[in-house]
Chain A
Amino acid sequence: GAVVSQHPSRVICKSGTSVKIECRSLDFQATTMFWYRQFPKQSLMLMATSNEGSKATYEQGVEKDKFLINHASLTLSTLTVTSAHPEDSSFYICSAPRLAGVSNEQFFGPGTRLTVL
């Protein structure tokens, strides 16, 4: 089956620093990728939709200047948490649909656990 990877799997950083998380589709091209955030014991909440060749679409309440998304190629999207604070500590998961515009078959990355001290 299709595989989506994330790097790093776990990161600990100091408050005020920026952290970049990579999401790669390993055996298919993804013009769209999705970024989710999951706080402990909570559900996955869609943060933004990453679009190759154009700007990301952010969900209501998500600060686009804080969570920078760059869809650099058809197999790579990055999420940069800028000036991270402890409240940004969370589990970040990306997903990619195999077929553009078809969200009924999404493949999820293994997630990145961010801890901001």
Chain B
Amino acid sequence: AQKVTQAQTEISVVEKEDVTLDCVYETRDTTYYLFWYKQPPSGELVFLIRRNSFDEQNEISGRYSWNFQKSTSSFNFTITASQVVDSAVYFCARTRQLTFGSGTQLTVLP
């Protein structure tokens, strides 16, 4: 099976620290999409970003940024100046069938 690996099971940081969540994926497809989702305690998945495999430009959205490195099959997610509200489980995923990583529980302490 082509996996999505999130090696960090849990991360704990203090508010205002920067934190990077790692994601490494396997695929035999030449065209695919990569995603990050946030799942707060309520359970509802919150879409954060979708990235086409042909677009390796890094993206920044407010305090969030993503680093896509096709050569290493990685799609890492950085939150700068973390806030308590960022505490959640974060999932990385890829197509074609949407396959999720195991998730990283991020806890931001005040």
List the interface of chain A (C-beta within 8 A of B): 34, 41-46, 91, 93, 95, 103-106, 108, 110-111, 113
Q: Kindly list chain B residues whose C-beta atoms are within 8 Å of the C-beta of A91.
A: 43
Q: Bound complex: CA of A110 vs CA of B45, how far in Å? A: 7
On whether the beta carbons of B91 and A104 are closer than 8 Å, the reply is no
B96 and A43 contact, CB distance less than 8 A: no
**Which chain B residue lies CB-closest to A105?**
B50
| Stretch from B19-27, B67-75, B97-105 contacting the other chain | B97-105
Does B103 lie within 8 Å of A43, measured CB to CB? yes
Which of A34, A105, A108 is B45 in contact with, Cβ under 8 Å? A108
Residues of B within 8 A of A44 (CB): 45, 91, 100
12 A–B pairs (Cβ distance < 8 Å), ordered by A: A42-B103, A43-B102, A46-B98, A91-B43, A103-B33, A103-B96, A103-B97, A104-B95, A108-B37, A108-B47, A110-B43, A111-B45
**Residue on A nearest B43 in the bound complex, by CB:** A111
Contact of B44 with A by CB under 8 A: yes
The distance in angstroms between the C-alpha atoms of A102 and B54, with both chains bound, is: 17
A39 to chain B, nearest CB (A): 12
B44 & A108 in contact (Cβ 8 Å cutoff): yes
Rounded to whole Å, the gap between the CB of B38 and the closest CB of chain A is 11
CB distance from A10 to the nearest CB of B (A): 10
- For A34, what are the chain B residues with a Cβ–Cβ distance below 8 Å? 98
Give 8 closest A-B pairs by Cβ, nearest first. Answer: A104-B33, A110-B44, A108-B45, A111-B43, A43-B100, A43-B102, A44-B100, A103-B95
As a 0/1 sequence over residues 45 to 65 of chain B, the CB contacts with chain A under 8 angstroms (1 = contact) are: 101001010000000000000
Known A-B contacts A108-B44, A108-B45, A111-B44; the reply to A103 vs B50 at CB < 8 A is no
